[in-house]
Structure 1
Amino acid sequence: MNYIFDFDGTLADSEQCSILATQKAFEQCDLHIPDEAQIKYYMGIPIEKSFVEMASRTLSVEEFDQLLVVFRAAYKEFETATLTLFPNISHVLQQLQSNNHHCFVLSSKKTEVLKRNLEALQISHYFKDAFGSDRVQNYKPDSDGIFAIQQAYDFAAIDTMMIGDAIFDLQMGKAANVKTCAVTWGSHSVEQLSAENPDFIIDEALQLLAII
């Protein structure tokens, strides 16, 4: 089986880091500061899309580029103190690897940042590859990310599961015709996740090991 994991809100608790970095970036760029609920809702998609949705006005190219630069610097500033793994994630990944399953990470953040975070959390060795937003043409909820991994590693949709905490992950999985597993410890509510009709919904990481 091939398991494709979202990162933020699925493997790692980056909520506080994302909120702090986003609010600092909007404040420093003299923009209306989005509230926590708004930031949490859009955490599943790249900032190139989410910041457009959260901005209270249309930004020039220069303003938008500066907003991204400030956010990335702030995220790096906050990540060491705020980024943590969710309970039992390391154990689950170790078990999947021991049982010869293939694990991948597909994230809305840049690949360089994603790999830095995986290494800092000491789980990078569990994954065959990590795909960030810069390795796909169209962002979540488009299916490009899953197709990119399938093409690179030559495996079938029927043997693949997308695991994520946001409706965007589930929509992407459905579009790629792979199994979908929603996790309830991330950014979107059980009600929001259930509305996407995922194949599985789990409340704790260890439950993933019981899914066939």
Structure 2
Amino acid sequence: MILNYFFDFDKTLASSGDASVKATKQAFQDNGLTVPTTDEILDAMGIPAEVSFPQMAKEALSADQVAKLVARFRKVYSDYELASTKLYPGIQDMLDQLTQRHKNLFIVSSKRTDAVDRNLNNLNIRHYFKDVVGCDQVDHYKPAPDGILLLIDKYQLQKDDCMMIGDARYDLQMGKAAGVHTCGVTWDAFDIASLKREEPTYLIDAPMELISLGQD
């Protein structure tokens, strides 16, 4: 039976609209770099900017250039996020239902922990979550399993009782690497075909479908 739910944040629980795309393009432009396309940016969402930005860059970047680029992105993104970040329909009801059933809810995100906490508080849903793990708390980013394994160890969880839920293949790869159940969500996924290729335990089209999964 699934007792412990590990959620990605962006494009799984909430949409930041085009804030990430706009902030990425502006950061590249402000640093005099070739601006990536919207599809390139969306395809890389789900892994930290420290990893995805050098992959998207047409120019070779030094560590200092990457740090400057990421810092600019986060500054611009923070200017956009408050107004643009919204919960998807059905998310609040789903979180209520899981909480009423005494499930343990966690966030495992490629964003920094403080940024995720800020988003959760702005959306008034922080109280649902037992803990939040951002990219600053792990040595290896998604799709490495570090974030999930940290929580399993910290709370002495059984892997067979755990499930990772996310919109990107990196979330599913992380869940599989950690040895837990996986659930792909399609309501704002950039590439549903890539989710199917990961052969998740479950694939759902609406938040409330999550309630009944793994309860036999």
Under a length normalisation based on structure 2, what TM-score does the superposition of the two structures give?
Answer: 0.96
Measured in 2, the distance between the counterparts of 1:62 and 1:198 equals 38
8 A contact 1:5–1:164 mirrored in 2:
yes
4+ aligned runs moved over 6 Å, structure 1: none
Matches of 1:70 and 1:190, distance apart in 2: 30
CA apart distance, 1:46: 0.4
Q: CA contact under 8 A between 2:50 and 2:67: conserved in structure 1?
A: no
| 1:173 alignment counterpart | 175
The amino acid of 1:22's aligned partner reads: T
Question: Of the candidates 54, 64, 67, which is equivalent to residue 65 of structure 1?
Answer: 67
Query: What is aligned with 2:119?
Result: 117
RMSD over aligned Cα atoms: 0.9
**1:83-162 residue pairs with structure 2 within 5 A?**
83-162=85-164
Identical amino acids, percent of aligned pairs:
44
Paired with 2:104 and 2:165, the residues of 1 have a C-alpha distance of 13
2:8 maps to: 6
User: Matched residues in 1 for 2:122 and 2:167: separation?
Assistant: 21
| Alpha-carbon distance between aligned partners in 1 of 2:193 and 2:68, rounded to the nearest angstrom | 36
| Alignment length (residue pairs) | 212
Residue in 2 aligned with 1:39?
Answer: 41
**Structure 1 letter corresponding to 2:188:** G
Contact 1:41 1:187 in 2 (8 A): no
Aligned to 2:79: 77
Q: How much has 1:62 moved relative to structure 2?
A: 2.3
User: Normalised by the size of structure 1, how large is the TM-score?
Assistant: 0.98
The separation in 2 between residues aligned to 1:130 and 1:80, in whole angstroms, is 19
Residues in 2 aligned to 1:96 and 1:166: alpha-carbon distance in whole angstroms = 22
Q: Secondary structure at the match of 2:184?
A: strand
Give the C-alpha shift of residue 15 in structure 1: 4.5
Q: Deviation per CA, 1:33-62, whole angstroms, max 9, x where unpaired?
A: 111111111111000100011111111222
